Structure 1
Amino acid sequence: MSEPARPDVPQQSEQQQPEQQSDQAPARGMRALTGEEFSAAQAIGGVRGLVEAVLPGLVFVVAFVIFTPNLVIPLVASVVSALVLVVARLVQRTPVTQALGGLLGIAIGVVWAWTSGEAENYYAGGLLVNAAYLVVLLASILIRRPAVGYVVEALRAGLTPERVKADAEAGTSPFAALTAWREDPAKMRTYAIATWLWVGLFGLRLAVKTPLYFAGDIAWLGTFHLLLGVPLWALVLYLTWYVVRTPKVRGETT
């Protein structure tokens, strides 16, 4: 769920970094949680990020509906579309992390469906990943260590390997911010609420898609896979940003 934001200067204080972010464009992915502004388009990587997230799954569903009961064509078409997205980034010399991540997810689903001969297993890996996230996030709330708190505080502290190394050389603990917030009841409540949002996201996905998976209803399973994918993720990311930002803004204005 997280990719730490890279600070411009490793030795900057935690107080300076949020102010510096306010002059920057809205961040992408989970890094958007620490921005002063939120842009859903920027968070998902713009039109290109949306295409990379949606296209392979959309191609699979459409091809499956057209060529049923042939499973080979939808699987091959999905892989080819994911490969094209990776190659396009390589040709343009742009970061390939998101495209490669999508390709890996598609590859797992394709292998599972191909070896089992069951089209619904194209989505089995995603269901298992969602279930794992749900268990971890729910457990973090129950033990009073809401996971979103660690993600947000790590991003605000700018924890990267370079930052950790620099702080270690300076004789300071780079991980202090990851636990200090737990002494603040207001932050604990805020991060618990934010974590519940993500529990709801993964719970909703499982509640809707699992029955369709066991029913083997590929058309509807694929449709809800898309609808509950990027759009829902972006919505929950925005709500999380609003929840974790609001106490900070109120504190500054009182």
Structure 2
Amino acid sequence: MSETPREPAGELADGTETQAAEGGGRGLRAINAEQFSVAEAVGGVRGLVESVAPGLLFVVVYLVAGQRLMPALVGAGAAAVVAVVVRLVQRTPATQAFSGLLGVGIGVVWAWRSGEAQDYFAYGLVTNAVYLVGCLASVLAGWPVVGLVAGLLRADGPLGGGPWSSVAAWRADRQLRRRYAWATWAWVAMFAARLAVQVPLYRNAEVAWLGTAKLAMGLPLTALVLWVSWLLVRGSGAARAPARPPAAP
């Protein structure tokens, strides 16, 4: 999701399956956690900085430089590149930084080609629209995307049956389907709110306000929706999975 934490949903914050399940989790994996951690959900301080820095630098440099586009594009691009280089030097997982670099790169190219500063944010608007349509379609089709993600990220599944067994488990339970549907509606509402606020600002070329809205409705709103999703579905898979037989003494 465009403004969502960019760490892949299947990767744990600490690289292990057990701690993510017992504690928090990064990105959409937080939905399956027994305890919700805002810090882990947004990728920690580093994830927060990597997500916020390019857009913040773009707006600040754009205003300080007298609304000149090129310095703002250079500042945003440099922030994304530095994030990747630092991760590579430290030999830490760089998927989140590379994903951010891709998004920033598309925004930089679009704004550079058009000469319009607001086009730096156009890619985010497009991806939000795509995710809005996808989430809405999944609910209407009876396959809410939050349920699919939560099920597929439960690698063990009921009695070790694999991730698809988790999906089959909630598909067979009307109450769980309803809870996953409500959680998906929360994501629909988030994407719709972003578009409702940011599209008019984009059309009116209100670059400073658009950048501010993007930052305010980015990670903070994503963390809130992740928490709401967790509240709706927490423990649902574990609570309804058949209990394992006790180990032999």
- In the alignment, the residues of structure 2 paired with residue 3 and residue 69 of structure 1 have an alpha-carbon distance, to the nearest angstrom, of 37
- In the alignment, the residues of structure 1 paired with residue 162 and residue 240 of structure 2 have an alpha-carbon distance, to the nearest angstrom, of 26
- In the alignment, the residues of structure 2 paired with residue 51 and residue 174 of structure 1 have an alpha-carbon distance, to the nearest angstrom, of 32
**TM-fit CA distance, 1:46:** 1.2
Distance 1:88-1:127 versus aligned 2 partners, 3 A rule: same
1:145 aligned residue: 143
Deviations 1:162-197 (A, max 9, x none): xxxxx9xxxx77634323421211011100100000
**TM-fit CA distance, 1:212:** 0.2
Q: Does 2:54 match 1:56?
A: yes
How many percent identity over aligned positions?
Answer: 50
1:208 to 156, 175, 197: 197
**TM-fit CA distance, 1:101:** 0.8
Q: Does 2:38 match 1:32?
A: no
2:100 aligned residue: 102
**Structure 1: which amino acid aligns with 2:124?**
G
SS at match of 2:154: helix
Deviations 1:25-80 (A, max 9, x none): 42211111111111101111111110000000000000111123321000011101
- Structure 2: unaligned runs, 5 residues or longer: 2-7, 242-249
SS at match of 2:68: coil
- In the alignment, the residues of structure 2 paired with residue 220 and residue 188 of structure 1 have an alpha-carbon distance, to the nearest angstrom, of 39
**Structure 1: which amino acid aligns with 2:10?**
P
1:129 aligned residue: 127
**Structure 2: which amino acid aligns with 1:194?**
A
**TM-fit CA distance, 1:144:** 1.4
**Structure 2: which amino acid aligns with 1:195?**
T
- In the alignment, the residues of structure 2 paired with residue 5 and residue 117 of structure 1 have an alpha-carbon distance, to the nearest angstrom, of 38
Structure 1 residues 49-58 or 39-48, which shifts more?
Answer: 39-48
- In the alignment, the residues of structure 2 paired with residue 229 and residue 201 of structure 1 have an alpha-carbon distance, to the nearest angstrom, of 10
SS at match of 2:67: coil
Contact 1:82/1:103 (<8 A) preserved: yes
Distance 1:80-1:188 versus aligned 2 partners, 3 A rule: same
1:44 aligned residue: 42
**Structure 2: which amino acid aligns with 1:57?**
G
**Structure 2: which amino acid aligns with 1:125?**
Y
2:234 aligned residue: 245
2:176 aligned residue: 187
Distance 1:251-1:24 versus aligned 2 partners, 3 A rule: closer
**Structure 1: which amino acid aligns with 2:55?**
G
Deviations 1:178-231 (A, max 9, x none): 234212110111001000000011011000000000000000000000000011
1:116 to 114, 117, 125: 114
2:9 aligned residue: 3
Distance 1:26-1:155 versus aligned 2 partners, 3 A rule: same
After TM superposition, the score normalised by the length of structure 2 is 0.84
Contact 1:89/1:96 (<8 A) preserved: yes
RMSD over aligned Cα, in angstroms?
A: 2.4
